[in-house]
Structure 1
Amino acid sequence: MEENEDKKEIYFKSVYGNIKNIGYHTTTIMEEENFTPFAYSTGIFENFKIPELFISGLGPNLSGELIKNYTEKFKFEKVPLNKRLDDLSERFPVYLINVNNKDLTKYTLTSIKFYERRNYEYVQLVFPDLNGNFPNEANYDYDQKIIGEFNV
């Protein structure tokens, strides 16, 4: 049991270090059989006054790049919701949609611990499948869990 506590302590030292030094921490959960990978930020809301970002279905490198681009592009600005964004990634357009924190509780444990009882918000990044189709379009085919309301 003690070894597990040591790992948690080391992990959260890393989290708090990243938040202090770069403004946020990115948590990535890798893909496994019958499990969609996901990533999310912690610290962006506190340091840059925009919602944290949740991404489902992409690997850690691309998710990290998107979180970085999102932060740099929108920090201290109003985040455009439910609008096609063509300049967050060179690879594909995306949408940012509202998502309730309570719907993310089984995913965003690092943020829950970091913010404790303080207020924070999340948006979800939604991306197209390999053929450029979004979840609301015919023939959409990709393993991306949509937590918020995608009705664009």
Structure 2
Amino acid sequence: MRHFDLTPLYRSTIGFDRIGSLLDTLNTFEGNTPSYPPYNIERVSENAYRISMAVAGFGEGDLDIEVKENTLAVRGEKTVEQENSTVLHRGIAARSFERRFQLADYVMVKGAALENGLLHIDLERELPEAMKPRTIEIATKTTEQPKVLDSQAAA
């Protein structure tokens, strides 16, 4: 895999440390990320997103969703139940998992819902007022004559 030196980026920019660390993280990607549970990421509207995860067999009490420093972590831990019957084939996975998603700046988690074995996590990008585009009016110079306050002649 190629290695990129991001030192020039750090020398000439201020406040973009997170982008450099994300690029470093992508650079160390080995391709052996877990594939369980499967998930979809949808763009619902211009500023709204939805993550849908297939978590069949997990209840609300078995799932934990946490947001910390622009990282969304979804954990599932299935409690082991003692059964009176012998399972001949176990095809429904009941293993624990943890999925992490990097969130962009100003992306907030709006809510989560568990429906028909799918965990839906709704996200929305909320730009602060200072970051939103605004129109600046252009002032024009008027051709008014200066007002004379006192009309006495200079001595």
Q: Give the TM-score band, short-chain normalised.
A: under 0.3
| TM-score calculated relative to the size of structure 2 | 0.26
Is the radius of gyration larger for structure 1 or structure 2? 2
Q: Higher strand proportion, which one?
A: 2
| TM-score calculated relative to the size of structure 1 | 0.27
Q: Higher helix proportion, which one?
A: 1
